[in-house]
Amino acid sequence: MYKHRFVTIIAFITFAFIFLPLILIIVTSFNSADTISLPLDGFSLQWFGKVFKSRSLVQSFKNSLALALVASFIGIFLGLLSSIALVKKPGKVSNALLSIFLSPSLIPGIVIGYVLFHFLVVKLQIPLLFALVLGHLLVVMPYCVRIICASLKDIDESLEEAARTLGCPPVKAFFLVVLPNLRPAILSSFMLSFINSFNNIPVSMYLKGPGMNTLPYAMMNHIEYNYDPTVSALSVMLMGMTLVFMFIMEKSMNSQSLKNETVRSE
Amino acid sequence: MSFGELRDIGVSYDKKNLILEDLNLDIHKGELLSLLGPSGCGKTTTLRVLAGLIETVKGTFTLDGQDMTHVPVHKRDFGMVFQSYALFPHLSVFENIAFGLKLRKVEVPSVTKQVQKIVDICGIKGLEKRFPKQLSGGQRQRVALARALVIEPKLLLLDEPLSNLDAQLRVQMRTSIKRIQQELGISTVFVTHDQEECFSISDRVAIMQKGKIEQCDNPETIYSNPACEMIARFVGFKNFFSLDQKDLLGITLPAKIQQAKLVCIRPEDIGFSPSGTLRGTIEVRTYLGNSYQYEVNTPAGMLTVSSNKTPACEVGESVSMAFPADALVFLER
């Protein structure tokens, strides 16, 4: 394989830039000192324990998890329905609708949050929890529509027709033939939706309220008042969670792509 | 009454232009009927009407005395092979073939037996566990055929099934299709734009143009007696004359021909002979291997003549040509 020293150096610097801060966080989270500091004082797991003792962090983690799951599921469901409509009836109206579906990803989150706060919370007096779900739905919808739409367009229309000629009623044909082939698209929409909702600060910032906080915001609050490694420990756990999440996704994607492997015979 | 009948079928996508106009077609029991024509002539549309995938604006479709016009696709019990094969990518070859049987709630042992039988007939034994992506084009074709046949359809519909295969495999596959079709005695409608493919395996051919069937007959009849100029050109007639020129050519109109607009003849049927009725000068000579093809300039226009006469005529040579009466075809349109 051809290797160029310059390319190697650039790659090394890039990886260092990405991973060094993460490694520092991991190292400091095991430190026994009261602040995030180097050199290390001694090994300790106390900060991991502290995370579970902090009621605001635990509660906001549960909130964020539930919010991300609910928003992703609704987003995928609506994304699936709208993709079917957009792909089945192509034309000017569909193109315009697609742009509208994708627009929340172009509008700054801070604007969406602000607008939703005024409209949903101040004007319509909608409960905060519900407003948060709606706000996060706006955040995740573009990913779901974009990914599922693209994948649905790639699926040969005659698959459904073939199923129908073999004796399958139209709706059943969708479930038996189209949906299984959308699985990779649905999985990756879920992954992107979940991560984007879980990470979101700007929209949550406006719509959170007493007793209804999200994890990223709670973490920001925490480090504002305490400079201890609790948040480092929490970050390490989140990284671990992400790794497990990605591993599961990768596994289920692989079992799909195995079928797509081309074997030459004859 | 025929086994299958399309009567006065009209199809329109935009409610203004008719894709099919008053189309009539008979399908005989157990035959292989081909729909042949240039792209955009409505042959695939006709097939989709048969399958029930397109709504008609008028007309009826009956099969075996049963009105099928408004029967939904999934209740028709027809097998269809799509141009893209449309194999289900997430199912194995076995599951693909068993798909229709499972929907019919056939018992598992019986499914296995029926799939096994059709797999043998279609020559895809040993591939049952593979997925469609792991098959070659010809194998996919056979799986698609097996999947359509296993439900024992009343009618088999093939939409350009050979167009995605390479030339050699195409010849091999069309013979297989014909063999399987005869073996099972299944009435089949085959859509194609390839004239050779169509004539070689069909019992009857319906030639379509602009949403209408121009001629529907057995291949031999179409070959020797084309119904119109388009079909005549399609099957190899190259020399066309209007009837005003008949004295110039030295031919007479047979008594049984009532009215005709054109007369035509194949290049190989025109003979060079000293007693010929039309004289002309050879302008171009091309070599075809077993014969020469000449472009001859005559008072009746430019003629294409092929002849294996030796020694070959030279460019610039003056020749006289004869038109055998039995090789002339008179056309009404």
Provide the shortest C-alpha distance from residue A197 to chain B (in Å).
31
pLDDT for A254 beyond 70: no
pLDDT for A259 beyond 90: no
Residue B18 CB-density burial (10 A; 0-12 exposed, 13-18 middle, 19+ buried): buried
pLDDT for A197 beyond 60: yes
Phi, psi of A183 (to 5 degrees): -55, -50
If you search the block for the tokens 């948060």, which residue do you land on?
A: A132
pLDDT for B30 beyond 50: yes
The predicted structure's pLDDT at residue B257: 74
Strand partners of residue B318: B281
Phi, psi of A27 (to 5 degrees): -65, -45
C-beta separation of A77 from A193 below 8 A: no
Measured torsion, CA atoms of residues B291, B292, B293, B296, in degrees rounded to the nearest 10: -130
If you search the block for the tokens 């096994």, which residue do you land on?
A: B116
Using one digit for the tens of pLDDT, what is the confidence trace for B104-157?
999 999 999 999 999 998 889 899 999 999 998 889 999 999 999 999 999 999
Lookup: tokens for B232: 């005549």
The answer to whether A266 contacts B136, with C-beta atoms less than 8 Å apart, is yes
Q: Cβ contacts (< 8 Å) between B82 and chain A: which residues?
A: 158, 161-162
pLDDT for A265 beyond 50: no
The vertex-B66 CA angle with B62 and B69, nearest 5°, equals: 50
Is some CB atom of chain B closer than 8 A to the CB atom of A159? Answer: yes
The pTM (predicted TM-score) of the whole model is 0.79
Residue in chain B closest to A162 (alpha carbons) equals: B86
> Best of B13, B48, B74, B111 to disrupt the A interface by mutation (most A CBs within 10 Å)?
B74
Residue in chain B closest to A180 (alpha carbons) equals: B90
d(CA B317, CA B279) in angstroms, rounded, equals 11
The predicted structure's pLDDT at residue B26: 92
CA B320 to chain centre: 37
The predicted structure's pLDDT at residue B314: 86
Sheet with strand B329-331: strands edge to edge? B239-242, B262-265, B329-331
DSSP-derived 3-state class of residue B20: strand
Using one digit for the tens of pLDDT, what is the confidence trace for B41-92?
889 999 999 999 988 888 899 998 889 888 999 999 999 999 999 999 999 9
d(CA A247, CA B216) in angstroms, rounded, equals 62
pLDDT for A27 beyond 50: yes
**AA letter at A131:** A
Residue A115 CB-density burial (10 A; 0-12 exposed, 13-18 middle, 19+ buried): middle
Q: Cβ contacts (< 8 Å) between B79 and chain A: which residues?
A: 165-166
Using one digit for the tens of pLDDT, what is the confidence trace for A221-249?
888 888 888 888 898 999 998 888 888 88
- Of the candidates B78, B133, B139, the beta carbon closest to that of A259 is on B133
Residue in chain A closest to B149 (alpha carbons) equals: A166
pLDDT exceeding 90 applies to what percent of chain A? 37
The answer to whether A262 contacts B53, with C-beta atoms less than 8 Å apart, is no
DSSP-derived 3-state class of residue B296: strand
- CA proximity to A181, closest of A161, A151, A143: A151
Residue in chain B closest to A161 (alpha carbons) equals: B53
Lookup: tokens for A26: 């991991």
Provide the shortest C-alpha distance from residue A136 to chain B (in Å).
33
Ordered DSSP codes for B67-106: E-TT--GGGS-EEEE-TT----TTS-HHHHHHHHHHHTT-
The answer to whether B74 contacts A169, with C-beta atoms less than 8 Å apart, is yes
Within 8 A by CB and 6+ apart from A265, the residues are B134, B136
Task: Give the least confident one: A8-17, A44-53, A197-206, B253-262.
Answer: B253-262
Q: Cβ contacts (< 8 Å) between B75 and chain A: which residues?
A: 167
The predicted structure's pLDDT at residue B17: 80
The predicted structure's pLDDT at residue A30: 86
Residue in chain B closest to A168 (alpha carbons) equals: B74
Task: Tell me the mean pLDDT in the region B298-309.
Answer: 87
Task: Tell me the mean pLDDT in the region B264-287.
Answer: 88
The predicted structure's pLDDT at residue B143: 94
Q: Cβ contacts (< 8 Å) between A262 and chain B: which residues?
A: 133-134
Residue B101 neighbours by CB distance under 10 Å: 23
> Best of A159, A165, A181 to disrupt the B interface by mutation (most B CBs within 10 Å)?
A165
d(CA A172, CA A179) in angstroms, rounded, equals 10
Instruction: Supply the ipTM of this predicted assembly.
Output: 0.81
Residue B70 neighbours by CB distance under 10 Å: 10
The predicted structure's pLDDT at residue A210: 77
Residues written for chain B: 333
Provide the shortest C-alpha distance from residue B1 to chain A (in Å).
26
Provide the shortest C-alpha distance from residue B139 to chain A (in Å).
10
**Residues in chain B whose beta carbon is closer than 8 A to a beta carbon of chain A?**
51, 53, 72-80, 82-84, 86-90, 99-100, 103-104, 130-131, 133-134, 136, 138-139, 147-148, 151, 157
Provide the shortest C-alpha distance from residue A156 to chain B (in Å).
7
Is some CB atom of chain B closer than 8 A to the CB atom of A105? Answer: no
The predicted structure's pLDDT at residue A263: 42
- Of the candidates A161, A167, A260, the beta carbon closest to that of B86 is on A161
Strand partners of residue B204: B33
Strand partners of residue B23: B9
Phi, psi of B16 (to 5 degrees): -115, -60
Looking only at the bridges linking them, the beta strands covering B318-322 and B271-272 are antiparallel
The answer to whether A158 contacts B86, with C-beta atoms less than 8 Å apart, is yes
Q: Cβ contacts (< 8 Å) between A164 and chain B: which residues?
A: 53, 73-74
**AA letter at A151:** S
Which of B35 and B21 is assigned the larger pLDDT?
B35
pLDDT band at A266 (very low <50, low <70, confident <90, very high): very low
Lookup: tokens for A233: 């420990």
Strand partners of residue B302: B297
Where on the phi/psi map is residue B74: left (φ > 0), alpha (ψ -120 to 50), or beta? Answer: alpha
C-beta separation of A259 from B131 below 8 A: yes
> Best of A166, A179, A259 to disrupt the B interface by mutation (most B CBs within 10 Å)?
A166
Residue A56 neighbours by CB distance under 10 Å: 14
Structural domains of chain B ordered from first start: 4-225 (3.40.50.300), 237-331 (2.40.50.140)
Q: CATH: 1.10.3720.10, 3.50.50.60, 1.10.1060.10, 3.90.1300.10. Which one for A57-226?
A: 1.10.3720.10
Task: Tell me the mean pLDDT in the region B164-188.
Answer: 89
Is some CB atom of chain B closer than 8 A to the CB atom of A255? Answer: no
Residue A266 CB-density burial (10 A; 0-12 exposed, 13-18 middle, 19+ buried): exposed
Lookup: tokens for B39: 């792209």
Q: Cβ contacts (< 8 Å) between A259 and chain B: which residues?
A: 89-90, 131, 133-134
Q: Cβ contacts (< 8 Å) between B44 and chain A: which residues?
A: none
Residue in chain A closest to B131 (alpha carbons) equals: A259
The predicted structure's pLDDT at residue A1: 53
Within 8 A by CB and 6+ apart from B120, the residues are none
pLDDT band at A2 (very low <50, low <70, confident <90, very high): low
Residue in chain B closest to A172 (alpha carbons) equals: B103
Provide the shortest C-alpha distance from residue A259 to chain B (in Å).
6
The predicted structure's pLDDT at residue B299: 86
pLDDT exceeding 70 applies to what percent of chain B? 100
- Of the candidates B74, B136, B147, the beta carbon closest to that of A168 is on B74
**Could you tell me how many CB contacts below 8 A there are between chain A and chain B?**
84
Using one digit for the tens of pLDDT, what is the confidence trace for A112-135?
889 988 888 888 888 888 888 999
The predicted structure's pLDDT at residue B148: 93
Lookup: tokens for A100: 């509208």
Is some CB atom of chain B closer than 8 A to the CB atom of A250? Answer: no
> Best of B124, B129, B134, B143 to disrupt the A interface by mutation (most A CBs within 10 Å)?
B134
Q: Cβ contacts (< 8 Å) between B148 and chain A: which residues?
A: 165-166
pLDDT for A257 beyond 80: no
Return the DSSP state at B327: G
